Amino acid sequence: MSSSLAAVVLGLASAASWGAGDFTGGIASKRAPVVGVLVLGQAAGVTLIFAAALLLHESVPAPATLAWSVAAGAAGAVGLAALYRALAVGRMAVVAPVSAVLSASIPVVWGALAEGMPSGSKLAGFVLALAGIWLIARAGPPGGGTEGLGLALVAGCGFGAYLVLMDRGAQGGTFWPLAAARGTSFALAVVVAGARRRPWAPPRHAVPLVLLSGVLDAGGNAFFLLATQAGRLDVAAVLASMYPASTVALAAGLLRERITRPQSAGIVAVLGAIALIAG
């Protein structure tokens, strides 16, 4: 398999894993406090990644390299906190597409500056993918207020910065940099949980789903890093950012949620984008 094709396959695997993690995490958040889902899910993810680094005998990168991963973990935690707050005070139809498209756009701009402009077909695929992500992530009728828009911008910047910083951190390996990033996010989640001074532990019946969401999130991160190592950052980031399609597909198949016409158009756009990016 060529490196460019491997990057496409791994990027799509990241999107599938992240989307499934969001799906299971969303269901778990209906059964348990959100902070508890974050803490326990991050604990499961960082444990799995740490074990993989030990089992594969991966060399520990230099502290300067790990610092990029720590910064990535902090950026991701800020993005996640802003996203949850934005969803609490605003409309998903505004918050979700803004944060998703911005998180994909930042690595595209950075990739163009650091690695040069992509080919014409890939650039067209990026544009089509961003349009598809926007349509898929929208929920509910258009219009309405813009509450939460500022937080959605913060969330998108946090996630976009995470993707760029993790690409830098992964120059020294895969699983140790990822463990540093996830460990940072976990530590920040624990601090937030402690500051709340309210019960946050998930009930026993919700624990398996919470753990699964953490494992899937960790898998999405690992696939993304492997995709960046196989090809360009912008290709990996745009493909991985297609995770809303996986979430919507799971919700339609398992929960019988209806896929709207804009979402259907978005899925078609995403499929076309994949063909252009892979070409």
Q: What is the pLDDT of residue 145?
A: 57
3-class state of residue 21 by DSSP? helix
Instruction: Locate 257 and state its tokens.
Output: 């949620």
3-class state of residue 32 by DSSP? coil
CB-CB contact of 17 with 212 (8 Å): no
DSSP assignment letter at 203: P
Q: Is the pLDDT of residue 142 over 60?
A: no
Q: What is the pLDDT of residue 68?
A: 95
> With bands split at pLDDT 50, 70 and 90, how would you rate the model's confidence at 246?
confident
Q: Is the pLDDT of residue 157 over 90?
A: yes
Amino acid identity, position 233: L
Mean pLDDT estimate for the chain: 87
Name, in order, each residue with C-beta under 8 angstroms of 36's C-beta and a sequence gap of 6 or more. 193, 200, 201, 202, 210
Amino acid identity, position 107: P
Instruction: Locate 32 and state its tokens.
Output: 């348990």
Q: How many CB atoms within 10 Å of residue 232? A: 25
Q: What is the pLDDT of residue 93?
A: 65
Q: What is the pLDDT of residue 11?
A: 94
**Cα–Cα distance measured from residue 89 to residue 225, given in angstroms and rounded to the nearest whole number:** 32
**In the chain, alpha helices (H):** 3-31, 34-55, 63-89, 92-115, 120-137, 149-169, 175-196, 207-230, 233-240, 243-254, 261-278
248 Cα distance to chain centroid: 15
